[in-house]
Amino acid sequence: MQLRAVVFPFMSIPSPHSVLADLFQDPLTVVLVEQIMAMEPGTRLPSEREQAELLGVSRTALRDRLSRIESLGILERRMRAGTFVKRLSPTTVSEVLLLGILSAAMPLDSMRPVRVALERQAACEASRRHDHLNLAHMAIAVDTMDATDDSAALHAADLAFHTALFAASGSPALVFLAEVLSGVMLRTVQQVALSDGRQTMRTLHRNIYAAIVEGDEAAASAAVDRHFDWLEELLAAPALPPE
């Protein structure tokens, strides 16, 4: 039997307009969103009367679309001042994601594997780029972990380390998504106690840092996995009161 070759269609990146048209399925909303995207955050939109006349639509139709766009977090209505363009923040996306998880009856910890995958990719990207500034921030965080036994200082150094790791990836998307998921994770896990794990924490972070400095993507990825395996063990243990 002769096997036929499987041919995959060429995948092209759609234009922003095509993406918006497919997303909203409404020409007026697409026009408004494209106008808003072209404005700087803090820019005041024209009045509803001016916009309605310019677009040739009723004020009722315009107000309906603006309300929908405002619900997405990219517009802000200020009393007696008007409607202003607002940058979509990771915090806003995090809140929407959390509501989505809850409404879908998904376990609150179901995003942990996604967080691990993002950090693993960030470590690989950072290994390729050798961003000396953010590598220096990672080194400072590791040195801070070595220099203290205070739990609050250790947690702060841990946050600084992972923030610098994502920045070192050079990927705005990874940085943005990491901030989004951090907002979710902070609401779904208890603060882990480090009474018996301080040295392990230091070693695991230093291993991630060393692999990235060496430009070893495989080692960096494996080091990230070991870090999160250890964290899962801590999270599986009974919650302890703050130290």
Banded model confidence at residue 23, pLDDT cuts 50, 70, 90: confident
Give the chain's mean pLDDT.
87
| Burial bucket for residue 31 (CB in 10 Å: 0-12, 13-18, 19+) | middle
Coil, strand or helix: which one is 22?
helix
Q: Encoding tokens for residue 73?
A: 């977090």
Same domain, 66 and 184: no
Dist CA 60 CA 132 (whole Å): 54
Residue 39 has pLDDT above 90, yes or no: yes
Residue 110 has pLDDT above 90, yes or no: no
- Mark residue 105 as left, alpha or beta (left: phi above 0; alpha: psi -120 to 50; beta: remaining): left
* Residue-level pLDDT at 149: 87
Instruction: Give the predicted TM-score (pTM) of the model.
Output: 0.77
In the chain, the number of structural domains is 2
State the CATH number of the domain containing residue 159.
Answer: 1.20.120.530
Same domain, 54 and 163: no
Banded model confidence at residue 99, pLDDT cuts 50, 70, 90: confident
Banded model confidence at residue 43, pLDDT cuts 50, 70, 90: very high
Of 42, 68, 88, at which residue does a domain stop?
Answer: 88
Same domain, 136 and 169: yes
State the CATH number of the domain containing residue 29.
Answer: 1.10.10.10
Of 69, 88, 107, at which residue does a domain stop?
Answer: 88
In this structure, is residue 10 part of a structural domain? Answer: no
**How many residues does this entry show for the chain?**
243
* Residue-level pLDDT at 7: 54
Amino acid at 17: H
Same domain, 129 and 39: no
Same domain, 131 and 199: yes
Higher-scoring residue by pLDDT: 205, 196 = 205
Same domain, 62 and 176: no
* Residue-level pLDDT at 138: 97
Long-range CB contacts for residues 17-22, cutoff 8 Å, separation at least 24:
none
- Which residues span the domain enclosing 111? 92-236
Half-sphere exposure of 207 (CA within 13 A, CB side): 17
* Residue-level pLDDT at 91: 83
pLDDT in tens, 123-148: 999 999 999 999 999 999 999 999 99
Of 88, 104, 129, at which residue does a domain stop?
Answer: 88
Same domain, 198 and 211: yes
Dist CA 243 CA 90 (whole Å): 30
Coil, strand or helix: which one is 209?
helix
